[in-house]
Structure 1
């Protein structure tokens, strides 16, 4: 979102420097300090002899903000952004600047940094950097982007950003109102100035008219000569004015052609802005129509946490089950071993008793029958116990197999959920990155087009005003000269008529006197 202002502002105005210089020369250092202090204005030269890291960063930030108002990159990574900024500015002595010098100021590293700051001051003096003007549209786009980013991250709207946006808009409106008031006052002063100038010219014409009225008849010849000279001068001025008018006409035509080219360029930028707005709307629709929402993502995260908890619980249960199973198996094995021992001992006892009964002559058949019945009952009971143990063992084995199956199913389900969640998160991240990149490009192009649009408007208005003012001034001068010429010619014609009338009157008086003299001479001759 940056660098376009640097490319547009510097251009060919970078001064050329000689490679042979001694940055550690005291005279060169004092010259750089004096030049930098003159450029910065209200600053102590002693603070520039060996400043702190914070003071140096504030000085560099001042020059950086003249070309790039957004200082986020500079605040986050000062040394990396400084090196890239100087490379972009085509600093001719990049070999003297290292990242370690930018984070620790020492008497050894300061001369190179001082020379770099002096070079930036020269660039700023030679460059005409257009000020970054805020507008309500730019504030609105910034508010929308920041709110959308926060909503995508937190899922909640921010009232603070809305209040900050309203406050910024109100401040911008107040600023524009103050500028409008200043322009109105300036326009009023210009109008009063032009009005006073016109009044001055009218007073001069009135003074000339009063002078013409005070002239005597005997000064007619001189007046006629002056009028002839004045007429020739007016004719010359008219020819000059006509040549100026033709030049102004040609300039006006050139300005019209330039305005047409600027209008075509303006139409091109407007079409580009419309295309960017269309891309922005398409991206917004794509984001709105994507297959997953923030609520679904949060629910998937909750499900993932729940499944992880269930996995942990199943692992704990499995461990407990395995321990119980091993204990039961050990107990069953011990019991089986005890039973086998008892059975073997019992069988031995029975065999011994049978042998003893056979050898014993006093053997009671009833005791033998009772003994065999008890033996059968004991064997039957032992078989029942063994059957119950085998059933329990089979049940435990089946329960274990079912738990193992459930465990595998849970693992598969968790893997599926994890894969789907990863895919969805990757898609969301990719879409958000694409949107942020396109939005940043759109903001950059929009700001650049707005700046160029404002500059074009100013150029067009300036050209129009210059053309109109020059034509109006030429027309006013021409009409003023014509009025002066007409007034002079009217005065001369009036004076000529008065002189002719006086001459005729004098001739009539002379002829009447001559007639009287002739009559007297005739009378004398008759006498």
Structure 2
């Protein structure tokens, strides 16, 4: 609103600030600051508020009237507090002691001390409280001069006399000083409560950092608007725009990261689907083991048959050898008899010749029998070598069986998959009974146990196959849900772009309207300035003409005020629309993020 004919301009607020608006403003450093009264005044004298003060509007006659925003007269006021009431003073003492003891005051304090305090006690207490207001505040001059000035800067509504500070503990001085200290404590308590309300409002309304930045921008820009600093408003808008652009980049990066995680999960699912499952690998191992078992059984059967044949041949050879040995003994006995007969008979030439022939014949027979014996021994040795080779092969096969059984946790009998059955085979080739070569009954015990184990694995295989089918169905459902979520994200992205475009157009329209109104205001100001210059140059004009110009000026002021209020209302509506749009985008992105996280957790589970 334009002021009187003095030519100074200022801006007037559209209405009073509510208590919630006071609490949600941004505090510099989280505590009150004491500054020059000219550079920072309390809003209409409200204690603890360090916002801009709106001066009262002056009438054309030059007299000042009360501002519409919590203003009151600047004349000296009578203190309405009951400073002579002993109960009230005791309450003030208790409040002061409570604050000092709960906020780290390290000097002794008691109700007796605060009944008639010394000047030193008062200085310590007031210095401690001033430090709570501003940590950098120091009393460098005389206490009697500095304390009243600091209370005045803090907008204490009642004066503090120097004479009272010279006699702090006197009955006529201490009640007013105690009330001032109590007011300062209430001011500090108010600031603490306001900070708590700000934090609770952030929690209750789920206001994140970007929202706080936006509300700080609104508070600072409104303050600059009231002080007429348009350049600062533009700087704040640029800073807010840069902040939101940075937040948008972070959101886009987070969305891209989630998309990459989804692609990674898809790749993992594809890899797990492509390669053989643990069930299929176990099934293949089981088929290999079944094949090995069948081979072992066939080999064992063949070795048994070969062993029986070799044993039969050995027995036949031993019987034949025994017969030849008996025959040799008979021939030797016959030779001894013949030698006795020959030795008892007289030998002639014919007998000698006959004996030589008979000897030659017997030698041929002996040589034939010796060669047959050697052949039988060679055959027995060859059969024994073949038997030992087969035994070695059987031992190698048994070792391979043990390796496979150990890998499958079938041995010993306490192994995981043995189920109390002894699958371990011990080979003893030195025994003559084929049924005792192995320590277990292959046909009646080992083979049925292996068959039962195979049936158990077949049952587990069927169950796992059914579970794999269900899992595959869930994976297919998850992929369909993922596709639907991707389509929903794309749709929300297009909606977000459309809303941003609408917001941009609305802001451009609002900026254009504001620029147009500012141009009109500048034109009106130029006209007023021209009229003033004309009025100064034409001093010879009548007072009636000057009065008419003054009336026209006041009408222009009213018109400008109305137009300014309309612009402020349009700006407030645009800000509300922008806030609603931003909250909608935040809620949408939060919902998408929660849905994405839930989907990822479902896929991982």
TM superposition score normalised by structure 2: 0.27
Which of the pair is proportionally richer in helix?
A: 1
TM superposition score normalised by structure 1: 0.31
